[in-house]
Structures are given as C-alpha cells and as structure tokens.
Amino acid sequence: MPRTSGSSNGGGSGSDSADPVELGVELLSKLEHAELSVADAVDRIETITTDPTTTRTILDEAEKRGVVERENGILRTSGGGFVRFESEVVVREGEFTCQRCGAGISEGHFIRFEAGDHGPFGSSCIRKVTGRD
C-alpha cells in the first residue's frame, strides 16, 4: 500500500467534493462478496453517509447501473470488482478518526475511487469495509 504523509483529517471522506452517491456506487462495485445482506451493504454505505435518502439513492443507482441486484433483502454484486490494496489504498500518517468505528488512529487507510478518496479507516476496518473480513 502506498504511504504518504499529509495533513491530519479528523474524519469525513478524503475528498469533501466527492459525490456521496458516486462514492457509494463505486464502493458497492468493489465488494469482494458476490452476495451480502442489504443490512451489511448499508453498514458499508454508512461510512459514506448516514442519511437514509442518500443511502436509498445509492442502492437504487447501483441497481440501475447493474452494479447490484436486490431480491428479498439480499444484494448480489455483478462480480469482478474488488479493491486492489497495492494500488487503490493509500496510507497516510497523522491523527485521524476511523470512519467506520470512530477510533482514533495514527495511520489512515483511504480507498482511492474515481469519485474521490474515501476514508480514513483503521487497518482492520478497511478490510471490513472492502469485504476482505
């Protein structure tokens, strides 16, 4: 994973100008599991937004674009997508708050999406968000 030093960021996505819907759809397109519950998908989306309307929009847009299929509370991904830790995750040193669990961290892991960077996450939470654990 690339390491950079940079300014500290207490939270939020790495790019304040990133569209949360685009980030959410990209996140869903990179899930490692072929199938997961809508609740598990929402858990991951909540690292981007906790707004129920935006969450619904992300799920609807992902389905409309063919990224996922929804049926009976289960999301099926179109497959083929995953986060490449070597090139799509950057580690920055500083004082951060994990977007998933709220813990204070000194190394923030950020996922690089076309829509913008998403994070920071701690070393275990980045794996949960991407579906590695």
Amino acid at 71: E
8 A C-beta contact, residue 23 and residue 47:
no
Residues 11 and 57 in one domain: no
Q: Is the pLDDT of residue 13 over 70?
A: no
For residue 131, tell me if it sits in a domain: no
Whether the pTM exceeds 0.75: the reply is yes
Strand partners, 104: 97
Residues 51 and 95 in one domain: no
Model pLDDT for residues 39-56, shown as the tens digit of each residue: 999 999 999 999 999 999
CA dist., res. 59 & res. 45, Å (int): 9
Residues 10 and 50 in one domain: no
8 A C-beta contact, residue 93 and residue 5:
yes
Provide φ and ψ at 103, rounded to 5°. Answer: -70, 150
Residue range(s) defining the domain that contains residue 89: 3-15+83-125
pLDDT at res. 80: 61
Residues 97 and 110 in one domain: yes
Provide the number of structural domains found in the chain. 2
